[in-house]
Amino acid sequence: MKDVNIIVLDFGSQYTQLIARRLREDKVYCEVLPYHTKIDAIKAKNPKGIILSGGPSSVYNKDAYEVDQGVYALGIPVLGICYGMQRIAVDFGGSVIRSDHHEYGKAELTIDMTQHSVLFEGCEDERTVWMSHSDKVDVLPEGFVPIAYSPNSPYAAIANEEKMVYAMQYHPEVNHSEEGYLMLRNFARKICGITEKWDMGHFLKEQIVKIRAQVGEGKVLCALSGGVDSSVVAALLYEAIGDQLIPVFVDNGLLRKGERESVENIFKVHLKVPLVVADASEIFLGKLAGVTDPETKRKIIGHTFIEVFEAEAKKHDGIKFLAQGTLYPDVIESVSVNGPSVTIKSHHNVGGLPDWMDFELIEPLRDLFKDEVRKLGLELGLPDSLVNRHPFPGPGLGIRIMGEVNKPDLNLLREADAILLDELKASGYYTKTWQAFAVLLNVKSVGVMGDNRTYDNTVCVRVVEAVDGMTATFAHLPHTLLERISRRIINEVDGINRVVYDISSKPPATIEWE
């Protein structure tokens, strides 16, 4: 078992993942575990520091979340954030009360420079931080002193230097907290004494050894979608076990222009991976004929993929393992305070598996965030065009055509979408935005081209800015760029005479239209 530099005990905060991300950005290896993790399991990971996250509960609730008290006896530094601070205050004999004035949002933090806390080394004495609490520490535990305060929190940060226990009422992990990243770095580097730097080069070497030990002489089946996660999984496995990997790429006929050729070129030519390509476009389009309901389309595409994948898998003997692109946020959600039990989720690679596939799972990316997966892809030699591509939905263009999916409409949409992406890349806006695509509305309108009347299709252009896709705002593209995109689509794609731009944000709208 790999030693963990920092363990974050999750009490259910919406920001817990951010704590881990901030530390990993500073090359400090950390893991998130449920708050109720037993002390023996924590000891087994040999951490150099513990962070107690925030959470929605109150320490005085009847069923308040508690930490194994053995954590405080490990003799290593502990940092509490928000609920974690209140947990520390009560556990060490202090008290917490309901605040008269709840603090949600930005607050002015003043650091008590007379205390000379290493936690704030290099920080300005006045900073804006992000508060989100309704309880606050009322009486400090013995041995603790205040090291920072805000207008509504005389104990915005506290410390017991002798016991190496620190706590903050605010959230240093969010971007709104100025120099919060530096406070977390000080905790890890200066207080916990972590000097080693974890990066994708180390991760790659560790995973190759681990995969080889797990697989032995067995074969591994991997569904390759052409997306970032599955591509990195396939490249990593091939690096580790070579021809014992059976990567299967299913062409469902719903891909973007040139996508199949691009995937084949990257894996067959560039990486020398013996990719198995299953052309099932006619099967998919046959089952989608006449179907207009978006959810029905999604289910048909998912079920058909399983059928095609099953047929391909049965052509190969000796398969013992199935590779999946599970990422760390999925793992955290599955073991969090209110998270679901661990299952093979429908959004991973193959969209759910039939019962006969009794394989052992290999999930080499389960310790990584999305940005780390991209770095690993570059480490493996995957091209930047693949590693940093925009998200693409599993059902593909099937949910970007309003109504029935057919070949003529797919061809129209492919051409329009290719022009959009081409212009965004040429202008530099592709790398500045989260996702961009065209939607065929199947709404016709009157137009004039030359001296002739037209009655053709309308395409909607959707370009959004986001951090993680959970929320999004439409991109404020220059009017000259929008005009160029519109002009090219109308002039170059026969059958389209009108282009509109989607200016709705998520929420209330979703990023995809279906």
| Residue stretches of the annotated binding site for ATP | 225-231
Per the CB < 8 A criterion, the answer to whether 239 and 379 are in contact is: no
Which residues sit in the known binding site? Answer: 225-231
Give the whole-angstrom CA distance, residue 511 versus residue 471.
9
Helix (H) or strand (E) holding 356: none
Strands in 95-111's sheet, in edge-to-edge order, are 30-34, 6-10, 49-52, 78-81, 165-168, 153-160, 145-150, 95-111, 126-139
State yes or no: cis peptide before 408, omega within 30 of 0. no
Q: Is 82 an active-site residue?
A: yes
| Catalytic residue (choose from 30, 82, 123, 222) | 82
Per the CB < 8 A criterion, the answer to whether 80 and 168 are in contact is: yes
Q: Is 492 an active-site residue?
A: no
CB neighbour class for 376 (10 Å; exposed up to 12, middle 13-18, buried from 19): buried
What tokens appear for 198 in the block?
A: 């974890």
Task: Read off the amino acid at residue 377.
Answer: G
Output DSSP code: residue 467: S
> What DSSP line would sit under 297-332, residue for residue?
HHHHHHHHHHHHHHHHHTTSS-EEEEE----HHHHH
Measured N-to-C along each axis, helices 200-215 and 370-379 cross at an angle, to the nearest 10 degrees, of 80
CA-to-CA separations, 252 to 283, 289, 352, 430, 438, in angstroms, rounded: 8, 14, 17, 26, 19
Output DSSP code: residue 401: B
Output DSSP code: residue 175: T
Give the whole-angstrom CA distance, residue 95 versus residue 183.
25
| Catalytic residue (choose from 171, 239, 372, 460) | 171
CB neighbour class for 138 (10 Å; exposed up to 12, middle 13-18, buried from 19): middle
CA-to-CA separations, 60 to 84, 116, 154, in angstroms, rounded: 13, 32, 20
HSE-CB for 508 with a 13 A CA cutoff: 0
Give the whole-angstrom CA distance, residue 473 versus residue 160.
43
| Catalytic residue (choose from 31, 103, 173, 239) | 173
What tokens appear for 436 in the block?
A: 């961009």
- Residues annotated catalytic, as ranges: 82, 171, 173
